[in-house]
Every structure is written in C-alpha cells, then in structure tokens.
Structure 1
Amino acid sequence: MPVPVAPGRLPLLGHTLPLLRHRPDFTASLRELGEVVRVDLGPLPAFFVTSPRLSHEVLVTQGAKFRKGAMFDKFQPYLGNGLLLSNGPFHRRQRRMVQPAFHRDRVAGYVETMRRATADLVAGWRAGEVRVVEDDMQGLAVTIVGEALFSTGIGAPVIAEVRRSVFTVIKQGMVRALSPSFVERLPIPANREFDRAVARMKAIVLDVIAARRAEGVDHGDLLSTLMLAQDDDTGGGMTDQQTYDEVLTLLTAGIETTAIALAWACHEIAAHPEVEARVHAEVDEVLAGRPVTAEDVPRLVYLGRVVNEVLRKYPVWILMRRALVDVELGETTIPAGGEVIVSPHALHHDPASHDDPERFDPDRWEPERATRLPRGAYVPFGAGTRQCLGNLFAHTEIVVALATIAARHRLTPLPDKQVRVKFTSAAYPSGMLMRVEPRPR
C-alpha cells in the first residue's frame, strides 16, 4: 500500500519546520491520514505510526526487529552509550547490570530522600507568597535524583551543576535531533550553550567517579550500585566511561519526566477542586499527620490515579526506532534501515482510546475503565524491553512529593496569569505562578 505523506514538506528541510513549530498539533493530525504516514526529518524519510495497535507492535510485539533510531543517534556524541541510546548485546548487558538499582526494595529505600527533599522545599514557602512552580519542581527533581545518585554531601557540587545545565542539554538536544545535521555545526548561541553545558556536566561527573574509584567505599547510593555492578555472564563491571554514560542517562531521562509531571500535577489538582478535595482527604486519612513512608505509597490509591492521569496528559512527545530487517506493520512494509516514529503524546490524546482526552480525569484509571484501554494506548515510559527502568522510581517520587505537599499546603493559581506551554521533548509549563496557602493542621 502506498504510504501517505504528511503535508507541509519542504526541499532539504522536509517536515522539520512544522514539527518544530506545531509539535503536538502536527503529530496529532497525522492519524487522519492513516495508521502509517511518511514524515521527513530533513532529507531523512521516516514512518510515523499513529495507532495504538501498530505502536504496540513497534515497541513490544516486534520490538526485537528494531533498534534506537536517528533521533537517538544525534544524542549519542553528547550523552554517550547509556541505556537510553545503546543497542544490541551491549544494551542487554548494561540493562542487566543497572536493573538491580531500580528493584522495588531499592526504590523503597529512596522514599525518605524523596520526602525529605520535598519537605525541605516546602519549608521555605511562606503563606501568601507566589511561587514559580515549574522552577520549584525542576529543582526538586534535580535534588532527588542527584541525592539518590551521589549521596547528599558528596554530590552537592554535582547537583548544583546538573541544576544549571541539564535542561539546556535536554531542550537544545531535541532541536538538534529533529534538525538537519548541518544545524548543529552552525556557530550560533544555542549550539555554544549546549556544548558548554555538556562539557561542564561531563567534567564534574567524571571527577566524582574517579574519586569514588580511588576511595573504594560503598556509599549506598545509585552511583555506588553502578560502580559495584558485575555482569553475571562475563564477571566484568563497568568502565568509568560506561558508568558516566549511565549516570548522564539517569540525570537527563530521570529528571525531565518527573519535573514536568510534578508541575502539571500541582496545576491540575488546583484547577479541579473536586480532585483537590479527594487528594487532601486521602492524604489526611492515610498519613494521619505523619510523614509519608514507602508503605504508604500503594495505599494512596487516588493520588496514584492522579499521577497516572498527569503522565497520560503530559508525556514524552516522540520516540524513534530503526528497523533492523524488513518489518510488516499492518499493510505497510518498513524496509530494513527505515526510521519509525511513535508519539506517546498523540497516542495519549487519541479520542478513539481516551474519552474526552483533553479532560483531566483521574477516575479513568479505575481498574474497570483502565483495563478497557487498547494495548499501546498508554506508554508514558515506553514499553517492551526498552521500557524505562526508572518508571517505578519516578512514579513513587511523584506520589511522595505530592503527598508531602498536600499534607500541609494548597497551591492556588493566580486568576489573571495563564500558564504557557513550551514544547520541546514534552510539554514544559512556563510561567506557572501559584500562591501558597497553608492547610489547617
């Protein structure tokens, strides 16, 4: 079957301009053209998959026939060969070695770090003051992941540098990934800023790894877990470069999703009084005035549904894969080497899968309703063998942070200030100003 071509293609640039200018609207519109649509990234043709059915095939059923795609190749010179970007046997080896760091018991051990970091943040809030919520939540996500990785005292300089640089790497990296290759070689301010941010992060993280090697002490954090990990098949561990690549992967992938979700969760809870009332009632009942613990997380059922709904509404924009062999997707043959794009954002906003998708509705995650979702319709952390290993860590972190905030505070939006959205790799909130109101104890 001939594959329809998305409108707006230009010579040399392909669909780069509509992709960058109208990101979610452009990708959402493609489902009207068919289940597979051609989209050109500059001169590179790609196959955009619009349906949950075929997205599930790409990510899960036929996942072994794909590797990471061109978008990830663009990141590799800067972010290394960690789990986010690696392929084949090396990826399987690294995944085996990293996986124990995110075992359920290990994640439970980081709940106190998550709670304490959130408590430290809100301890600085004053009644009636206006906070820039996206800044607070970005800082909180950096602190939690940074302390889990590097421990509190030892990691302070690294955490400060990550807070300074990581969002530059993420935002400018996405622009590079979707642009023709010559763009990243242009002597423009954005490129210089990106290169400096990567260089700063690399230098300070490698210094910490070298110091840890010389010290030879297990600090009980994620970095120690990575440095002590041994491959059961070969008996070898990670080199300093491999450890660095995994650390940078955890920093970039682990901070962005959580920071965005936390900010939008604060916004959506405040915008829906009935949701806020149910969150507060559940937090008050489960916690009964004490700090949240790991045992409380599964008991905060409604808050967990709120988090699921935030992750549905504000997920990663696109993922890419490259076919290793000819692959049949529906009535389309993807040739070996062909690039495939899946959009979690478009899938999560497809009215064929999600009733009234623009409405914030945590009750859509009640078990009876959630089980009716088609496979592939909800992929906030990807799916299959490349599903994000940090998904439980991130979900737990968001629940713990929101419960800690809700136990003592309300955040109310300013009626005359509308939140702007800046789309890069996901929907970043901008100008999310909210007023702090203490809750009665």
Structure 2
Amino acid sequence: MPVPVAPRRWPLLGHTPAMLTQRAKFTDALHEHGDVVRLDLGPLHAYFVTSPALTHEVLVSQGSKFRKGAMFDKFQPYLGTGLLLSNGEFHLRQRRLMQPAFHRERIESYASTMARAASSLAARWQPGETRTIENDMQELAVTIVGETLFSTEIGHRAVEEVRRSIFTVIQQGMIRALSPSFVEKLPLPGNREFDAAIARMKAVVLQVIEAWRADSTDHGDVLSMLLLAGMTDEQTYDEVLTLLTAGIETTAIALAWALYEVGSNPEIEHRLHTELDQVLGPRPVTYADVDKLVYTGQIVQETLRHYPIWFVMRRTLTEVQLGEATLPPGAEVIISPHALHHDERYFPSPQRFQPERWTPSFLAGLPRGAFVPFGGGNRQCLGNTFAHTEIVITLATIAKQWRLTPTRPARVKFTSAPYPNGLLMKAVPRN
C-alpha cells in the first residue's frame, strides 16, 4: 500500500520548515496519519514510524537490516567512527571493547565520584539564592563524565574545555542534521562556533591520550580501559568524544527537569523527601541505595519519558517490510522517542508529570517499543545504567539538602531534545 504523506509539505523544502518551527508538536501528531508516514526533508524522502510495535522491529527484531541514518552521516566528519556512529562488525567490536567500562562493579566505583561531585556543587549554594539550574546540571554532568573518563590532572583540564564546548557541538550539530548539506558550508556564526568547538575539543583530548601513552598506567578510568584494550589514538578519540557527547546531554537535561518537576509539585516533593529520610537518614547516598530509592527511581523514569530525545534515524540495508509498508534499500527511517512517550494510547494524560504511573504492573503492560529513552537492541545506549545511577544519586544528594522552588514558569528551547532555558530556582535549605 502507498505510504501516506504527512501534512504541511512545502514545495522544494518539504517538511523541513514544519520540523524546525513546530518540532515535537508536529511529529507527536503524526500517528494520526498511520503507523508509517512519509516525510520529505528537502529532497530526502524519509519514513516516520509511529507505532511501538514497528519501533521494536526497527530497533530489535529487524535491527540487523538497518544501519545509522542520514542524521548521523552529518555528524560523522566531526565525531568520527565512535560507538554512536559506527556500523556493522566494527560497531560490534567497539561495543565489546567498551562494555567492561560499564559493568556493575565499574559503575559502583563511579558512584562515589557522582555523589562527591553532586555534594560539592550543592555545598556552593547559598540559602535563598536563585540558581540557573540547567547551567548547574550541565556543569555537574560534564564533571562526572569527565572525571570518570580522565582521572589525571591533564584530564581535569580537558574537562574544562569540554564544559566550554560540548553544548555548542550538540545544539549546532542538530541544526546541521536537519538542514541541506550546503548550509554547513556557509560562513554563518553557528557554523564557525561549531567548527571551533570541535577543533578545541579534539586538540585537548589528543593531549590527554598522548600523556597517557607516555605514562601507560591504568588509572581506573574509562580512558585507561580503552587504551589498554589496544585502540589506536584516533579510535580512542572518537570513542571519548562519543561518550562526552552522548553521556552529558541526556543526563544534564534529565537532572534539570527532574529538579524542576519536584520543585513544582509539592506532593511529589513530599514523597521524595519522605523516602530519602527513611532510606538514608543523616548519611550520604551510596550505590547500594539506588535500588532502595523506589520513588526516586520513578521520578527518574517519568523524567526520561516526559523529556526524551526528539528523534533518531536509521537506514535500510535491504528491502524491509514494516507493517503494510514496503521500504526499499537505502530508505531513511525516523523514530521519535518523544512522540512515542507522549502517545496517550500508552501513557494516559501524557502531558502530566506522574511518577506514580511507573508501577511494576504498568511497566509490564507497556508494549515493546513504547518506552525507548535509551534506544534498543544492539544500539541501546551502553551507558544507560551509568546515566540512571547518576541521576538517582544526584537527585537524592541535592533533595536531601535543599528544596528548590521555581521563580518563574519553565522555558523550553527545543533542539535535539526539550532543553530548559533559564530554569531559575530558589535554593532553600531543608534543615
């Protein structure tokens, strides 16, 4: 059967104007037109998958028939062939080499770094002051990922450069991904900022690798593990930049929004504080507490549902049957975690923030593919447990000491995900 075409298509530009101006509002409504809907991004035809069942087929059951899509092609000249962008046997090899860095015992050792960094940040706050929470959470996420990647002094200098540059890379990169190729060659301020940020980060990461080669000591960080596994400098750089890019954005956004939602909802805040007092008492949070903090974990789940990445792309390697749609080889396929997570067929009242929805029975009743904050299949984010642990520990550490109250309604800047924009919150000590 012919695949229905999405509304709001412009001549020549296709659906790109609707994607750039309406963002998730446009893509969240596409399920009304079918399980597979055609989008035209300029001259590029793409197929937007709206159902959980077909999402699961793309990511898992038919995952071997797909590779990374056009959006990732735009990033590859700058981010190389790290785990996020590589394909085929090379991707599987790199994934196997990196898996030990995210085993349970490693994450348990990282947990102390997470707690220490969160506690250090919270200790700098003053009673009654107003904090820009997304800036604090970006700083914290960069610090945590940076210190678990690089434990040496030169590594700390690399973290400072990453803090300066990483969000320019992420935000300008998404604009490039949605724009025709000629746009990235224009002398626009955003292009110059992106190119300069990439050059700075590459230079400082390669300095860290060079210093490690001269030392050859296992410092217990991810960089040591990658180099001891036999990766070349270029491969190591690609994987480090991938970890920095993927490991910072999602976590920083989730932390900022989680704190905002807790501070905006007195009942949620009360339940969170009650759990923290009962489980932790006067002591700091540890890795062993993560599974015990059940309601805290539900807040994290609901945050990942409510504020996920906008979309990802895949490309067919062969002819693929998705429901009633037959896609040819080389077809671009779009999956939107945001659209899936805001589909009221699976998440009643999707615009409401409801941590209590995440009961074991609710989770068991969700169809496969309905909740994909970290993707799925052999492309599932390798750092998903790292990220969940980091968010729980940080949320517990801050909420144990402070109440954060919004001083104005949230503002959203939508790029690759719904970014908080000027999330101002007043810090009030709990005790």
Bucket of the pairwise TM-score, normalised by the shorter protein: over 0.9
Matched with 1:187 is 187
Distance in 2 of aligned mates of 1:11 and 1:247: 41
Matched with 1:155 is 155
Matched with 2:367 is 374
Distance in 2 of aligned mates of 1:214 and 1:11: 57
Q: CA-to-partner distance for each residue in 1:109-158, whole Å, 9 max, x for gaps?
A: 10110001001101110000000001000100000000010016332211
TM-superposed CA distance for 1:180, in Å, is: 0.7
2:382 matches 1:389? yes
Alpha-carbon RMSD: 0.8
Distance in 2 of aligned mates of 1:152 and 1:272: 41
2:398 to 391, 395, 405: 405
Distance in 2 of aligned mates of 1:289 and 1:216: 41
Matched with 1:352 is 345
Distance in 2 of aligned mates of 1:68 and 1:169: 19
Distance in 1 of aligned mates of 2:40 and 2:207: 41
TM-superposed CA distance for 1:293, in Å, is: 0.9
Matches within 5 A, 1:34-433: 34-151=34-151, 153-229=153-229, 237-414=230-407, 417-433=408-424
Residue 406 of structure 1 aligns with an amino acid whose one-letter code is: A
Partner secondary structure for residue 333 of structure 1: strand
Contact residue 326 and residue 334 of structure 1 kept, 8 A: yes
Residue 306 of structure 1 aligns with an amino acid whose one-letter code is: I
Distance in 1 of aligned mates of 2:260 and 2:400: 16
Partner secondary structure for residue 110 of structure 1: helix
Contact residue 297 and residue 399 of structure 1 kept, 8 A: yes
Distance in 1 of aligned mates of 2:276 and 2:226: 35
Identity of aligned residues (%): 67
TM-superposed CA distance for 1:12, in Å, is: 3.0
Give the TM-score, by structure 2 length. Answer: 0.99
Distance in 2 of aligned mates of 1:117 and 1:296: 17
Partner secondary structure for residue 299 of structure 1: coil
Distance in 2 of aligned mates of 1:390 and 1:139: 19
Distance in 1 of aligned mates of 2:410 and 2:284: 31
TM-superposed CA distance for 1:418, in Å, is: 1.9
Contact residue 13 and residue 180 of structure 1 kept, 8 A: no
Out of 6-15 and 117-126, give the one that drifted further: 6-15
Residue 4 of structure 2 aligns with an amino acid whose one-letter code is: P
Partner secondary structure for residue 411 of structure 1: strand
TM-superposed CA distance for 1:215, in Å, is: 1.1
Distance in 2 of aligned mates of 1:283 and 1:42: 51
Partner secondary structure for residue 153 of structure 2: coil
2:427 matches 1:436? yes
Distance in 1 of aligned mates of 2:381 and 2:320: 24
Give the TM-score, by structure 1 length. Answer: 0.97
Distance in 2 of aligned mates of 1:426 and 1:104: 28
Matches within 5 A, 1:8-27: 8-27=8-27
Distance in 1 of aligned mates of 2:8 and 2:187: 28
Residue 309 of structure 1 aligns with an amino acid whose one-letter code is: E
